[in-house]
A and B are shown apart, each in its own frame.
Chain A
């Protein structure tokens, strides 16, 4: 390995995603792409666009969750720090341990708060009690939930409020220490105060993780993200720094969407 490559690898090991000619099909119908996109590591990237534009499909193809949908097929590739996630012999399960996901509707398991966060660790083979509880605490701290739940860790997660449940789902994703966190409209079902907490949290997370977030809320994209990608009719129309997208977009379509002329 020569010096240059070594240096590049070191620089790249920040959880960046490199998307090349990625296209997703449902049966014979193309849902999205082909898309080329360089998602920078340890930054928040927002995906915006009208309903059905392919942004959620794109998000799911970044950690191979689309394979849970029957009839879904992917072309092109995605590289996590130069490692292809669709390469031959790559295990989707291993991919998802490094690229976690938070869903639109909070979906805690009907287990205790503690067991929810410990789940990913347990299935990963962590059984040591003190290691488990340390990492559960750390993840809950990270998701800004620890102070609210530390006295009721062994109560059902379903007793938490909607916003708390969503932060629990974030904590659960963080516990397995992924490099990338994908979020599919994580705050769309929450009230404004809970939303504000999630947004604050997303901002914090970008220090250690790459965050890719799908949102319908353009103010939210403007508030939380460093980069924004605008999708329309299955194509990536424009991808740039968030301030550029929102102040001087290069594409007419982007401007029309941002200013509320359609969508």
Chain B
């Protein structure tokens, strides 16, 4: 990777991490728009890259929380197993919806999340 590219990715990662740590929002909400609007990824590539970044960041966060004893394993499985089924549907669906339409739906979700962040 060229070094400008690495520094771009570093800035993306740092911005994503700080915002998610600060506001308790997931990294994807911050990362996907940055990948689309700044790096020029299409919505599918942005979503794919974001999911992998989330695996790394969430693993680090979850490891810390496991040490603190804040994780309820049964509850994690109760929502996590159905969610794994859901993500198969979601990724399948995403390949069949025009990328621009996915991007439009994402912006609608962003408005909803902005409301949640402001009024929580």
A and B pair up: no
